[in-house]
Amino acid sequence: MEVFENLSASSRLEKGPLDAYSRAVREVTESLEPAVISVGTEGGRGGGSGVILGAGAEAATAVTNSHVVRGIRRAARNPNGIRALLSDGASVPVEVLGDDPPSDLAVIRFTPEEEIPVATLGEAGNLVVGQLVVAIGNPLGFQRSVTAGVVSALGRSIRGESGRLIENVIQTDAAINPGNSGGPLADAAGRVVGINTAIIGGAQGIGFAVPVSASFRRVVFALVTEGRVRRAFLGVVVQSRPPRSGSEGGAGVENVAPNSPAGRAGIRRGDVIVGFRDQAVRSNDDLLNLLDESAIDQDTVLRVRRGNREVSLSVRPREQTTD
């Protein structure tokens, strides 16, 4: 019968070459997967993912989410009882160098038993909507699961578990589930362009990642060297505005917090911030980069585009609190 001939023929098929899409995902997986770790308690409570960004003679350093670290600490009987499960199956204790809820990033350090691979960082600013991205993590306890999708949108703002807005995140339709948090989002070259951070409950195909950018690098450096990130706080929610009508872009003010430095300075909803100190502001990322510790409690000139005119305002940012 024909069906038996078909079954017999299928058992003799040779392994064919992968298509271009599958090859790209496979190559990313082979290069990046060994640098992905699982982060949790010794008893398996809590948990998330992480990616190794540095390794020396005695210790390795990885990035994960702030909410992952804080969640594990709540779940663990011992606040310091965090462990990392490496790609070779080894489980090692973890030291938290620092975590930063406003960016939802944390840096951890551990001592591997053997030489360990390190991921390569990319640049989220080079991404375009529709571009292939690959997520690797430990969703629902399934170690080093790989999903692929595209960049669905850029420059999104989401509210993190701390209640604070996380700005300029990457939206992707690569499947992200609980446990993926802290794991890498990579481009087709295997470079880490984001750290997976959140999903929308009840939605499908909507996940978010903290972008690898100048802000990301500054946060990680501060956590490694000081254990915390000091930021200046204006009290505005901003969204990047593209250039138009011969004018350059800026950071559009979506909301102004009551009794904030921005509110006291006279900044209004609908203003577009185009300058801070003597630096141009062409996007919300520009503004966030300028709101570092050097701006805390300093009288600063802030330039806004209000309608068809530019207005200069004096603002004194205060230090942003994280607890």
d(CA 144, CA 37): 8
For residue 60, give the 3-state DSSP assignment. Answer: strand
Return the structure tokens found at 52: 């190794």
Pure H helices in the chain: 2-10, 20-32, 66-75, 214-225, 261-265, 284-290
The catalytically annotated residue of 99, 100, 104, 187 is 104
Neighbours of 12 (CB within 10 A): 6
Whether 157 sits among the annotated catalytic residues: the reply is no
Neighbours of 41 (CB within 10 A): 18
- Cα–Cα dist 286/64, whole Å: 24
Per DSSP, 292 falls in state: B
For residue 239, what are the contacts with CB-CB under 8 A and spacing of at least 6? 155, 157, 251, 252, 254, 284
Active site annotation includes 100? no
Please work out, in degrees rounded to the nearest 5, the angle formed at the alpha carbon of residue 261 by the alpha carbons of 260 and 266: 95
Query: Exactly one of 38, 66, 67, 99 is catalytic; which is it?
Result: 67
Kindly state the helix (H) or strand (E) to which residue 212 belongs, with its residue range: none
- Judge whether 104 counts as a catalytic residue: yes
Active-site residue, selected from the candidate residues 181, 215, 240, 283: 181
d(CA 297, CA 318): 5
Inter-residue contact 62 to 110 (CB < 8 Å): yes
Distance, in Å, from the CA atom of 158 to the CA atom of 169, rounded to the nearest integer, reads 7
CA angle, corner 94, sides to 92 and 96, nearest 5? 170
Residues designated as active site = 67, 104, 181
